[in-house]
Structure 1
């Protein structure tokens, strides 16, 4: 794959991942609002724990989808031969851990780096989302 192709395709997959993440985090925000209203008269523990658990469930699902998307790319692009290796490589790359036991050829290194960038940005966005959510939850609990 040429450098230009690696950048274009890497950007496309990164964009798909972020579009998916933004849509699901928006949906999660709406569900957290509804859940908070339903739990208005519930015990304090549930009014704090339930929104956090819901958001964490969404975040785990979002990151899992993104890891699977990159694994699909590796398998169907005939880069890695089996699902176990593709998922392992995708997860290790997405978390930016990068053990180095599986290495892409020179013609895919830039493209592979986009998987790391996707993970780095996804974890940053998810962390910011959780901080904002928890700030709001705790603020509402302190006021009441």
Structure 2
């Protein structure tokens, strides 16, 4: 158990750091786009902007899922990356199908990834919520002449 924690926590920290990078890039581009295109707001531009926010955050989650899969492959839990990625995706999304299980030695890594994944989906949801609220605020401001 201790070995799983010793290996799992650095992977979690790496993934948290990567998601922070995706988040910072996403927000930086969002602010830049909103500032440059504020006078040209339209339904299409807002939909594109929100879609890009979703895609960037989803890409961040996918990269993290792949990192966990690479760890499982490295530890010898799976012989193919595709199987490791499937297992990782099931954990990350907290689906817990149970059709594939890891050995007793490493099985604590599954719940660790699930806890990490649910946190990262929460972060992604918060970012998207912030972007949606900003689009609404901008639309209300235009309607009221601000």
- Structure 1 length as normaliser, TM-score? 0.92
CA contact (8 A) 1:48 1:138 kept: no
Query: C-alpha displacement at 1:75, in angstroms?
Result: 1.2
Distance 2:48 2:32 in 1: 11
Q: Distance in 2 between matches of 1:130 and 1:40?
A: 18
Query: Do the aligned partners of 1:39 and 1:46 also contact (CA within 8 Å) in 2?
Result: no
| Contact 2:58-2:124 at 8 Å conserved across structures | no
| 2:12 is aligned with 1:9 | no
Q: Choose which of 49, 52, 55 in structure 2 pairs with 1:54.
A: 52
Does the CA-based 8 Å contact 2:77-2:103 persist in structure 1? Answer: no
* CA displacement, residues 56-97 of structure 1 (integer Å, 9 cap, x when unaligned): 110111011011101111112211111121111011111110
Q: Which stretches of structure 1, 4 residues or more, deviate above 6 A after TM superposition? A: none
Structure 2 runs not aligned, ≥5 long? none
CA distance in 2, matches of 1:46, 1:31: 17
Q: 2:69: which partner in 1?
A: 71
Show CA shifts across 1:70-125 (max 9, x none). Answer: 11111122111111211110111111101111111221121221111111111111
TM-aligned CA deviation for residue 41 of structure 1: 2.7
Aligned residue for 1:90? 88
Residue number among 7, 16, 19 corresponding to 1:18 in the alignment: 16
CA distance in 2, matches of 1:123, 1:93: 12
Corresponding residue number in structure 1 for 2:104: 106
Aligned-residue CA RMSD (Å)? 1.3
The residue aligned with 1:80 is 78
Count of residues paired in the alignment: 142
In the alignment, is the contact (CA less than 8 A) between 1:17 and 1:66 conserved in 2?
yes
Partner of 1:142: 140
Query: How much has 1:43 moved relative to structure 2?
Result: 4.4
Q: Distance in 1 between matches of 2:130 and 2:41?
A: 22
